[in-house]
Amino acid sequence: MQGMVQLRDALNIMDARHPGGEPIPFSLTFITCNLTEKTGGERRSYEGVILAGGQFGKKNSPKNANHYDNGTRNVNIPGKSRPVTIHIYLITHLNNERVII
């Protein structure tokens, strides 16, 4: 039987960093959704994903995406040149554990 993890714990796992400050990779399965283009509904799974962060994640940044208010996060996926925005409520699995709300 596969394990389960609550969404708040899954988000903490995604935020986790090694003692040196580098992000800890994780596996992620989610459902795509682009409300602007009205597309999505595809299930995607990736290994070695890390939470994107840096200068554009700061509160005073002119490009602040309000990820916490919007329920989204940017992740870096191996093989992709740009971060991908995911909706946290559409995450189905993290590190092969089912994510529950």
pTM reported for the whole predicted model: 0.82
Q: What is the pLDDT along the chain (101 residues), one digit of tens a residue?
A: 579 999 999 999 999 999 998 999 999 999 999 888 899 999 999 999 999 975 444 454 556 667 667 889 999 999 999 999 999 999 999 999 999 98
**pLDDT the model gives residue 35:** 82
Give how many domains the chain has, as a whole number: 1
Task: Supply the pLDDT for residue 41.
Answer: 92
pLDDT for the residue numbered 90: 96
What does R_g of the chain's alpha carbons equal in angstroms?
Answer: 14
Does residue 30 contact residue 7 with C-beta atoms inside 8 Å? no
Q: What pLDDT score was predicted for residue 62?
A: 52
Please tell me the predicted confidence (pLDDT) of residue 70: 80
Distance CA 93, CA 24 (A): 16
Residues 6 or more apart from 72 whose CB is under 8 A from it? 65, 85, 86, 87, 88
